[in-house]
Structure 1
Amino acid sequence: MKRFLLYLTYIILMIVVIKGGLSIQMHLLEEVAVLKVESILYLMYSSIFSIIIGVLFGIPRLITKIRSAQKFTFDWIKFIAIGIPTVYLATVPYLYFTAIGSYLPYASRIYHEFGNFTPTIFGIIFGYVLLDSFIKK
């Protein structure tokens, strides 16, 4: 019963965070459309919010790892092989409009050819991989 309540609390927390985050994101999108303000704030929020969602997905697995009595290490290979490319793909729409945007490889192509959901998906993957890279040995 205790485990059930923990999972129920976790899923309620996920729903609240996702619902609240999406409402903020929609508000920012409306401001971009109506007020013709810079979309960089919306793009930055979208990137960060998707990473936060990925971190929330990774919390149960991290808690399971914390409960074991082994020593923590960091899986650099997983982080470099999966984490770095996914954080790049998650943040490239935002970075495209910064001073370094013209120097980033494939930034223009990624920004123009991939849809809005691609950075979101890669942000979620990065957030999960970030926590999953902590391992116990």
Structure 2
Amino acid sequence: MKKLLLNNLFVYLGLLLIMVLVFILGLKYQQYLQLEARTTFQPQASIVFSVLFPMFFGVLLGLLRLFDLLRKPGEWKINWIKLCIFGIPSLYITLFPLLYWYGLPISYYDFPLGYLLITSGTTPHTISGLIFGFLLFYVIEREYLSGEEKRRI
């Protein structure tokens, strides 16, 4: 029992160390891209990174769930309701800066919540990116099937 607890402690501390390192390096790289965007007047790389980094970090936070799922037996399932209710809106809010900056021929006023998402800064995009990345592993489930249920399928 103590050995299992000690192993879990080291796994969690290792994962925490990886997350802290990724977070620090990501913030430093984002600062570099913002400085580069200011000097070259090319904000595309900075915008793409600011959209993708929170999603990647959310995936990193959800890795514990994936490890738990890999240890369980059963059939893989996707919770489509959770994915549609939480995933699609968070993906929309996360990707909205890309829609805005990459020159669609329509105004951002035409998008649902477009004006609010553009004028509210980066907070909604960052939070939604974290939610979407984290949710990717939380919509996946494993359902245990008994022998009789397997025969029916």
TM-score by length of 1: 0.91
In structure 2, the residue matched to 1:14 is: 19
Structure 1: any 5+ residue segments left out of the alignment?
Answer: none
In structure 2, the residue matched to 1:95 is: 99
Aligned partner letter, 1:119: H
In structure 1, the residue matched to 2:50 is: 46
Aligned partner letter, 1:127: G
Residue by residue, what CA displacement relative to the aligned partner does 1:62-95 show, whole Å, maximum 9, x if unpaired?
A: 2112211111111111111111110110110122
Residues 1:63 and 2:45 aligned together: no
- CA RMSD across the alignment: 1.7
1:50 to 1:74, Cα distance in 2 relative to 1, 3 A: same
Alpha-carbon shift at residue 108 of structure 1 (Å): 4.1
In structure 1, the residue matched to 2:84 is: 80
Residues 1:5 and 2:10 aligned together: yes
Alpha-carbon shift at residue 128 of structure 1 (Å): 0.6
Q: Separation in 1 of the partners of 2:106 and 2:30?
A: 26
Alpha-carbon shift at residue 101 of structure 1 (Å): 6.4
Structure with larger Rg: 2
Q: What percent of counterpart residues are identical?
A: 26
Residue by residue, what CA displacement relative to the aligned partner does 1:28-84 show, whole Å, maximum 9, x if unpaired?
A: 111122x14221221111110000010011110121122111111111111111111
Q: Separation in 1 of the partners of 2:98 and 2:138?
A: 25
Preserved CA contact (<8 Å) 1:95 1:101: no
SS of structure 1 residue aligned to 2:128: helix
TM-score by length of 2: 0.82
- Structure 1 residues 95-114: aligned runs within 5 Å: 95-100=99-104, 102=106, 105-106=111-112, 108-114=114-120
In structure 2, the residue matched to 1:122 is: 128
Say how many residue pairs are matched: 136
Alpha-carbon shift at residue 100 of structure 1 (Å): 3.1
Residues 1:132 and 2:138 aligned together: yes
Aligned partner letter, 1:10: L
